[in-house]
Chain A
Amino acid sequence: MIRHWSLALLLFAASVQAADFKTPVLLTSGGQSADPQMIKTLLTRENIPFTYEPLATSAMLAGQGALIIVLGGSSKGLGAAKVSAEQETARITELLKSAAEQKITVLAVHVGGKNRRGALSDEFNKLGANMADEIVVVVGGDDDGLFKGIAESRKVPYSSAAKIADLGGILRAKFAPAQPTQE
């Protein structure tokens, strides 16, 4: 089976500086939806070493090469995790600030489409997008250009994928053992 990842990708902001992704990866949620589970499965498939902690804090950043935050709020998920939207916002802010201080690259991913946009989700979406080093959105999640707009104003790379399954190729390209002297 041939997967044309490149066709599924639309790369924008080619001029901006490419982020430097290292492994292992700390995978966390930004809003406690089930969406990080899909990224977890993709990372497993691509043999990219990672730790998944939906409620990760800065204490877990030690020894990590990169942070992936999967954006989008779920009131059910927040309820199940027994955290309020305010507590989730505080956790994300603390985590992303600490990652920036420690120069750990942050990839913000949005995979939930329209269902993960709206008042609750957008609080986390904006927060994550405004602090990430790169943003990837699955089609349907950025029809109004919120993420693209933030990426352009902050001059960070932005890309979109046609479907979640296509993110496998994107993650592979970013995290797979680097080709010698790529730069």
Chain B
Amino acid sequence: MKLRAAIFAVGVLSLAIYTGLGFRASQVDEPLYPSPSLSKIVRLSEYDSRLRGTRADTDVYEFGEPDGGATILVLGGTHCDEPASYIAAYLLLENIEMERGRMLIVPRTNRSAMSHKTIGEAHPPTFDIPLPNGVRPFRMGSRYTNPLDQWPDPEVFVHSPSGQELSGADSRNLNRSYPGAANGNFTGQIAFAITELVKQEHVDLVIDLHEASPEYPVINAIVAHERAMDCASMAVLDLQLEGLEFALEPSPANFRGLSHRELGDHTLTHATLMESANVSQGRLRGKTNADLVVSGLDSMYVRAAKINMTRVPYDEKGIPLKVRVGRHIAGFHKLISAFSQLNPDRAAAFTGIPTYDELQQHDLGIYLDPHDHP
């Protein structure tokens, strides 16, 4: 009897240690290695002091100097189960060399969402990107703010100030919470801080990076606020000329809380958002693991595509992370060059960022190798 109790106790204890270590690991930011063009790192709490010391306080990496060129803001990791969004942001901040203008990069925009995973999704805690020598692990997070930071969810989430009603869980969805409020809930405070950042730094162009499941209608797309439509449509045409199909989607006027809608309406910025196709978010996917996140290959989606259930071309090649990151990087290039052509006095210029083709040739690891950063 005592032996059984002891075995049971040891079992429970090891389980507690195992899950405890997993929890601890999920709270640790993986190191990032900003390019030498970095001018400073500030915390998001600079724009809303209530975030200071919380799980949502996050780094804002600034490259270049105020020199009359455009100020551009890249948001990665708004939804932390959309890996191409934050891996693209990491790649940008580790490689960019600003020549004109300022680049602000927030790679973990909802840092709280990076610290846990959505229940029931079976997402892996981490996935590895192969480097020339070895691998580099990255966390996978959740679409939502960690419930440890904001709980419980209301029955109905009422967006402020519009009064739009969404499901309760969306109260923890950063991209339904813009423009946010100083006295709002925790997620609304993150949104508020980003809105303040855009205002105080006079951000000219916002590029919010996302992914969505292959059956979602807005996919392989650039979504743009009215003010950004000229810039975005020029970018879409340029991308087409290089063989990358993007759809231009106008920001819906009466769908509130989204970054492109609210940052466009509440600030003077040109607000855009990009979506790539990520099977590990899809409802039709089969086995979910780290391989799926990186390879983007799921046999269920191959079958789904054959019966026209996907909104993007999908076959046995899958849609690997390097393609999804490559599309974000290509869109980044073209949005900035379009903005610069349309606003020559505020033009921005940079080097160090691969083209889509270079990224496909060399793979992600070449651009994410910490050994390149002494």
Contacts and interface: CB of A to CB of B under 8 A. Distances in A.
Interface stretch (B135-143, B245-253, B346-354): B245-253
B243 to A, nearest CB: 9
Contacts of A40: 230, 233
Interface stretch (A15-23, A72-80, A124-132, A151-159): A72-80
Contacts of A79: 254
A42 B146 CA distance: 45
B240 A164 contact: yes
Interface string A25-38: 00000000010011
A18 to B, nearest CB: 26
Interface in A24-62: 34, 37-38, 40-42, 44-45
B233 A165 contact: no
A165 B248 contact: no
Nearest to B238: A165
Contacts of B229: 34, 37
B148 interface: no
A37 B248 contact: yes
A172 interface: no
Contacts of B254: 79-80
Nearest to A40: B233
Contact of A34 (B241, B245, B248): B248
A77 B237 contact: no
A165 B250 contact: no
Contacts of B233: 37-38, 40-41
B162 to A, nearest CB: 15
B234 interface: yes
Interface in A63-89: 76-77, 79-80
Contacts of A34: 229, 248-250
Contacts of A91: none
Nearest to B308: A114
Contacts of B245: 163
B230 A165 contact: no
Nearest to B342: A44
B248 A38 contact: yes
A76 B252 contact: yes
A162 to B, nearest CB: 10
A76 to B, nearest CB: 5
B236 interface: yes
User: By DSSP majority rule, is chain A's interface helix, strand, loop, or mixed?
Assistant: helix
Nearest to A168: B237
Interface residues of A, number: 18
A52 B234 CA distance: 16
A164 B250 contact: no
Contacts, number: 42
A169 to B, nearest CB: 11
Interface string B244-274: 0101111011100000000000000000000
B239 to A, nearest CB: 9
B83 to A, nearest CB: 27
Contacts of A45: 234, 237
Given A34-B229, A37-B229, A42 B237 contact: yes
B313 to A, nearest CB: 11
A168 B254 CA distance: 32
Contacts of B237: 38, 41-42, 45, 164-165, 168
Nearest to A38: B233
B240 A165 contact: yes
A80 B253 contact: yes
Contacts of B241: 3, 165
Looking at A41, A115, A164, A165, the one whose CB has the most chain B CB atoms below 10 A away is A41
A107 to B, nearest CB: 18
Given A34-B229, A41-B230, A165-B241, A80 B250 contact: yes
A42 B237 CA distance: 8
A115 B218 CA distance: 11
Nearest to A164: B240
B236 A38 contact: yes
A42 B230 CA distance: 10
Nearest to B223: A34
B171 to A, nearest CB: 24
Interface string A102-124: 00000000000001000000000
B113 to A, nearest CB: 28
B260 to A, nearest CB: 13
Looking at A38, A77, A163, the one whose CB has the most chain B CB atoms below 10 A away is A38
Nearest to B239: A165
A44 B234 CA distance: 10
Interface of A: 3, 34, 37-38, 40-42, 44-45, 76-77, 79-80, 115, 163-165, 168
7 contacts: A34-B248, A34-B250, A41-B237, A44-B230, A80-B254, A165-B240, A168-B237
What are the nearest 6 A-B pairs in CB distance?
A41-B233, A165-B240, A34-B250, A80-B253, A37-B233, A165-B241
Given A38-B233, A164-B240, 11 more contacts: A3-B241, A34-B229, A34-B248, A34-B249, A37-B248, A41-B230, A77-B250, A80-B253, A163-B245, A164-B237, A165-B240
